[in-house]
Structure 1
Amino acid sequence: MRVKTEAKRDAIVQVASEVFRELGFEGASMVEIAARVGGSRATLYGYFKSKEELFVAVIHASAKIHFEPIFTALAEEGDEDLARVLQRFGEKVLAVVCSQEVIQAHRAVIAESGRSDIGRLFFEGGPKKGLAEVAGFLERQMRKGRLRSADPTTAAHHLMALLDSETVRPSLLGIQGPLTRRELREATRRAVQVFLGGYASAIQPAG
């Protein structure tokens, strides 16, 4: 019995990333990926049960590189003006999720979601974890009295939906091209303004 290693898994994900980028989700095959990795399909399936699972692993590996620093910075925020913190966070997140690479991957996940469990795998391994990070930050702001008391997970959903509404959704539908930095900044400003309009504490803490 062959022993699975993290290095081998990472190598498979790296090769698969190149294949998916070249051929797209539909055009890529486990046969092609196995050939480029230099192993058998059996080895490949030993690490990933399906092409969908491997595709999601590729997305998550890329997302981790981009999002980990953003969420780490958010967790370390002190008592700076909350609107400014959320503005900075929103701009950074949107710069990633509105990139053409991420939009294309998102479209592929949506297209396959009705035929497999790719949607669940994608959500649980990525967006769900991101929402938990945002909810944790918002809960801390509620304890400090900077936001009104509410369910932090629901608040996180509302914040991310507001950020997505003018940016990600139109991009997914192809009704707008790549957004400029200024457009992302303004869309973020409006989203944060609406969010704080609903969640800011009526009594702000002194200092």
Structure 2
Amino acid sequence: MKKKTEARRLAIREAAGQVFKELGFEGTSMAEVAQRLGYSKATLYSYFDSKEALFYEVLMDSTNSQMDEIFQIIEKPLVNLRKDLEVLGEKITELLYSEEVMAVRRLLLSEAGRKNELGLKCYQAGPAQFLSAISQSLQNAMGRGLLRQSDPEVAALHMRALLEAEWIDHFLFSTSKSESKIKIRATTGRAVEAFLLAYGVPMSKP
């Protein structure tokens, strides 16, 4: 019975994900999702108590595996500073500019100001956790003398901004789709270079 329940819950999330992409958050109704599946609205509400709850789980489905991989990287102490930051930066950029996450980000942007509680919940589940974890990693590196002493949270924000610098306008104006690993590696390398120019420890002169 449990397997059947989980299978139905997954089917609902998958169908809802497609409807959200097609119609946006406001344009999507529980009735529409139910119709796509051939279920009653009562069945949907027995699994998800609101459209917001359903949207949140769809978001988590699209990002969980990649987020777990990124957190595993962040939890390891930075050793080879440039290389480790590049590996982390590539994974973050791959996540942010994957087709699935770009679609979710566009949905959230389109609903900005109308569903603040949903936006806050999504922020707390993703970006806020990343910011906290990266801040701790950078603070550890600062404590070991690998980076200059500074506010680690601000440094983490600067790092994320640099990673997105060559992508954000194309995303906002929908001028490109997700890109190749080669381009991601190149843009990440330039972002890390700029970050280390700002936060790296100057080499002492002989």
Report if TM-score (shorter chain) is over 0.5.
Answer: yes
Distance 1:112 1:163 in 2: 25
Indicate the percent of aligned positions where both proteins have the same amino acid: 27
| Code of the aligned partner of 1:16 | R
The residue that corresponds to 1:196 in the other structure is 196
| Code of the aligned partner of 2:173 | L
Q: Post-superposition shift, 1:62?
A: 2.5
The alignment partner of 2:191 has SS state of helix
Matches within 5 A, 1:91-110: 91-110=90-109
The residue that corresponds to 1:12 in the other structure is 9
| Code of the aligned partner of 2:66 | H
Residues 28 and 63 (structure 1), Cα distance of their counterparts in 2 relative to 1, 3 Å cut: same
Q: Post-superposition shift, 1:196?
A: 0.8
The residue that corresponds to 2:155 in the other structure is 155
- Aligned 8 A contact 1:135 1:155 in 2: yes
- Aligned 8 A contact 2:99 2:177 in 1: no
| Code of the aligned partner of 1:98 | Y
Corresponding residue pairs, total: 197
Q: Post-superposition shift, 1:76?
A: 1.9
Q: Post-superposition shift, 1:39?
A: 6.4
1:130 and 2:127 correspond: no
Matches within 5 A, 1:24-63: 24-26=23-25, 27-34=27-34, 36=37, 40-41=41-42, 44=45, 47-48=48-49, 50-63=50-63
The residue that corresponds to 1:112 in the other structure is 111
Q: Post-superposition shift, 1:193?
A: 0.7
Q: Post-superposition shift, 1:18?
A: 2.7
The residue that corresponds to 1:83 in the other structure is 82
Please give the per-residue CA displacement for 1:119-146, whole angstroms capped at 9, x wherever unaligned: 2121111111111111111111011110
Distance 1:131 1:139 in 2: 12
Q: Post-superposition shift, 1:168?
A: 3.8
The alignment partner of 1:113 has SS state of coil
Q: Post-superposition shift, 1:38?
A: 5.2
1:184 and 2:184 correspond: yes
The alignment partner of 1:121 has SS state of helix
| Code of the aligned partner of 1:148 | R
1:144 and 2:141 correspond: no
| Code of the aligned partner of 1:131 | L
The residue that corresponds to 2:171 in the other structure is 171
Please give the per-residue CA displacement for 1:145-201, whole angstroms capped at 9, x wherever unaligned: 101111111111110111011124422321233322111111101110111111112
Q: TM-score, normalised by structure 2?
A: 0.81
Residues 193 and 100 (structure 1), Cα distance of their counterparts in 2 relative to 1, 3 Å cut: same
Q: Post-superposition shift, 1:14?
A: 5.3
Q: Post-superposition shift, 1:20?
A: 2.2
Please give the per-residue CA displacement for 1:73-121, whole angstroms capped at 9, x wherever unaligned: 2212452x20100111111111121111211111001101121123212
Distance 2:188 2:70 in 1: 15
Show structure 1 runs of 5+ residues with no match: none
Distance 2:164 2:8 in 1: 33
